[in-house]
């Protein structure tokens, strides 16, 4: 927050607290013990299921993904359901119904109809989601068929998220995407025909080869489709990506835009979306109708709901305990086959850390309700973070109102840069992962 130069490489997107590098294997015995205790007043429960397979890895991707060999995907699905079955028998989770569900990856839509049906029915049998308020499924455009979409809808999926990234074929090719614009438009048309409560299109600002004109024309094509939700991420270049390596060895075909350019493009995109009737609902998303198109995976979780993550590298947040699964696919298989939970590392949050986690995540949604923290933690974040808030307010990035701490548009555009300023001292200046 001091205006120092922004490094072009690294991970910046804040998805939890404290950073993953603070989570340790030594904490896992406490997590196992916690699973044996029935919570007195359990909060809402969500599920994240990770499917780590892709047709090919995009140049900028830093998520865990593997080749999509059919036998490996089938074995993985059975391992994921076996892991989920262990949680279904744990006293801390047994009998609890899901409030929201997210199937992500990777590319979960790579599964054929038989595997999709096995996935959805298997989860439903262990943790029923027929009463869940939101069930999201990520789809890569080229892997979508009308039959798959009908299967998803009939199984209870309410929110479909299509990874378009942009609607410019040359930009897509330069970044290693396996789909083209026509694939996005065809998949979107099928999704509209099948009927989902919400269809989201994911975009990325700052791709290799992107220009101001190509980004703007891509957004105009998106607006013609009229999706219920549009998510726009600013490209990161973590050190473990093919893009970073190609920049380092000089083989990248064009330098990606810098941070100020990315912010300017998202700023303009949000203004264009608002002019078209959308409402900006977070640091990276706009929706046509905030009442009809919430994103409960974020909204409820960021207010303190429990999240159970299953699958290789997935992470959970259960009753103040963060835990991440093994990130190696062979190690994940080995643990599950031994009848063990595939745990890698964890972190027990104290009350102050839980409060910080909720506060920074709510700021990503644009506002943190002061009354929520007074009631839940007996403190006012406006006092708890007084110095950091004043620094951000002077820069024009947020304001402290009577009822809430509100992030301005300029603050939202750089929110992941601001949030570490609210971290507790032991968690500052540490590795992201």
Do 376 and 290 belong to one domain?
Answer: no
Residue 243 placed within a domain = yes
Nearest to 288 by CA among 273, 300, 270, 269: 273
Which tokens in the block code for residue 415?
Answer: 């929110």
Supply the range of the domain harboring residue 268.
20-299
Residue 226: per-residue pLDDT: 98
Number of domains the chain is built from? 2
SS3 348: strand
State how far the Cα of 400 lies from the Cα of 406, in Å rounded to an integer. 6
Are 389 and 370 in contact by the 8 Å Cβ rule? The answer is no
In angstroms, the CA 105 to CA 103 distance is: 7
Pairing, β 306-310 against β 343-348: unpaired
Measured CA to CA in angstroms, residue 427 lies from 10, 30, 102, 318, 392 at distances of 17, 21, 28, 20, 20
Q: Which of 250, 258, 252, 181 is nearest to 214 (CA)?
A: 181
Q: Does residue 200 sit within a domain?
A: yes
CATH of the domain at 406: 1.10.10.920
Q: Would 31 be classed as within a structural domain?
A: yes
Q: Are residues 249 and 396 in the same domain?
A: no
Residue 174: Cβ-neighbour burial (10 angstroms; 0-12, 13-18, 19+): middle
Whether 344 is in a domain gets the answer no
Specify if 114 maps to a domain.
Answer: yes
Evaluate whether residue 267 is within a structural domain: yes
Tell me which of 280, 299, 318 is where a domain ends: 299
Question: Rounded distance, CA 175 to CA 177, Å?
Answer: 6
Q: What is the pLDDT along the chain (433 residues), one digit of tens a residue?
A: 545 568 888 888 899 999 999 999 999 999 999 999 999 999 999 999 999 997 765 555 555 555 566 679 999 999 999 999 999 999 999 999 999 999 999 899 999 999 999 999 999 999 999 999 999 999 999 999 999 999 999 999 999 999 999 999 999 998 887 899 999 999 999 999 999 999 999 999 999 999 999 999 999 999 999 999 999 999 998 787 777 888 888 888 888 899 999 999 999 999 999 999 999 999 999 999 999 999 999 999 999 999 999 999 999 999 999 999 999 999 999 999 999 999 999 999 999 999 999 999 999 999 999 999 999 999 999 999 999 999 999 999 999 999 999 999 999 999 999 999 999 999 999 988 8
Do 68 and 75 contact (CB within 8 A), yes or no? no
Q: 393 and 294: one domain?
A: no
Q: Are residues 292 and 206 in the same domain?
A: yes
DSSP code string of 130-144: TT-SEEEEEE-GGG-
| CA-based nearest residue to 163, from 192, 146, 194, 142 | 142
Question: Smallest Cα–Cα separation from 322: which of 355, 347, 351, 352?
Answer: 347
Q: Answer yes or no: is 2 within a domain.
A: no
Residues 355 and 213 in one domain: no
The rounded radius of gyration (Å) of the Cα atoms in the chain is 21
Neighbours of 91 (CB within 10 A): 12
298-312 burial, b if ≥16 CB within 10 A, otherwise e? bbbbbbbbbbbbbbb
Among 299, 318, 338, where does a domain finish?
Answer: 299
d(CA 402, CA 107) in angstroms, rounded, equals 43
Residue-level pLDDT at 11: 81
Judgement on whether residues 363 and 281 belong to the same structural domain of the protein: no
| Same domain as 246, residue 134 | yes
Pair 293, 363 in one domain: no
Q: Specify whether 258 is located in the same domain as 388.
A: no
- Same domain as 355, residue 237: no
329/370 Cα distance (integer angstroms): 42
- Rounded to the nearest 10°, the torsion over CA 200, 227, 278, 298 is -10
- Whether residue 210 contacts residue 166, with contact meaning beta carbons closer than 8 Å, is answered with yes
Residue 6 is predicted with a pLDDT of: 83
Beta partners for residue 406, in sequence order:
367, 399
Q: Indicate whether 45 and 162 sit together in one domain.
A: yes
Among candidate residues 266, 299, 332, the one where a domain is terminated: 299
Q: Within this chain, do residues 131 and 242 fall inside the same structural domain, yes or no? A: yes
pLDDT score, position 264: 98
CATH of the domain at 113: 3.80.30.20
| DSSP secondary structure letter of residue 279 | E
pTM: 0.94
Residues contacting residue 88 through CB under 8 Å, at least 6 positions apart? 94, 126, 127
Is there a domain that residue 10 lies in? Answer: no
């Amino acid at each position: 927050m001091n205006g120092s130069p922004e490094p072009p490489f690294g991970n910046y997107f804040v998805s939890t607290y404290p950073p993953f590098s603070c989570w340790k294997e030594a904490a896992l015995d406490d997590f196992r013990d916690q699973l044996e205790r029935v919570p007195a007043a359990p909060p809402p429960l969500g599920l994240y299921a990770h499917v780590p397979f892709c047709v090919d890895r995009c140049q900028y991707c830093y998520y865990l993904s593997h080749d999509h060999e059919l036998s490996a995907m089938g074995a993985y699905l059975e391992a994921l359901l076996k892991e989920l079955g262990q949680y279904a028998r744990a006293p801390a989770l047994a009998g609890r119904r899901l409030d929201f569900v997210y199937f992500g990856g990777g590319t979960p839509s790579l599964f054929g109809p038989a595997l999709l049906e096995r996935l959805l029915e298997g989860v439903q049998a262990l943790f029923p989601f027929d009463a869940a308020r939101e069930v999201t499924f990520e789809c890569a455009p080229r892997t979508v068929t009308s039959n798959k979409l009908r299967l998803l809808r009939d199984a209870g999926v309410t929110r479909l998220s299509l990874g378009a990234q942009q609607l410019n074929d040359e930009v897509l090719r330069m970044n290693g995407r396996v789909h083209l614009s026509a694939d996005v438009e065809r998949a979107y048309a099928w999704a509209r025909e099948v009927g989902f409560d919400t269809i989201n299109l994911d975009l990325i600002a700052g791709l290799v080869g992107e220009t101001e004109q190509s980004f703007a024309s891509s957004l105009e094509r998106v607006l013609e489709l009229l999706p219920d939700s549009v998510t726009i991420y600013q490209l990161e270049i973590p050190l473990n990506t093919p893009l970073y390596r190609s920049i380092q060895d000089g083989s990248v075909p064009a330098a990606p835009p810098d941070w100020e350019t990315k912010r300017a493009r998202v700023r303009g995109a949000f203004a264009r979306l608002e002019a078209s009737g959308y409402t900006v609902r977070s640091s990276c998303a706009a929706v046509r109708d905030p009442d009809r198109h919430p994103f409960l995976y974020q909204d409820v979780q960021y207010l303190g709901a429990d999240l159970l993550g299953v699958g290789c590298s997935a992470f959970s947040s259960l009753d103040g305990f963060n835990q991440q699964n093994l990130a190696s696919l062979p190690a994940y298989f080995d643990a599950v086959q031994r009848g063990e939970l595939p745990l890698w590392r964890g972190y027990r949050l104290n009350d102050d850390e839980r409060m910080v986690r909720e506060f920074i995540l709510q700021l990503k949604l644009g506002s943190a309700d002061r009354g929520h923290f007074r009631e839940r933690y007996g403190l006012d974040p406006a006092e708890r973070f007084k110095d950091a808030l004043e620094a951000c307010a002077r820069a024009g990035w947020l304001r402290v109102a009577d009822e809430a701490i509100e992030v301005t548009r300029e603050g939202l555009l750089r929110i992941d840069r601001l949030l570490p300023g609210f971290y507790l001292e032991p968690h500052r200046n540490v590795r992201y992962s």
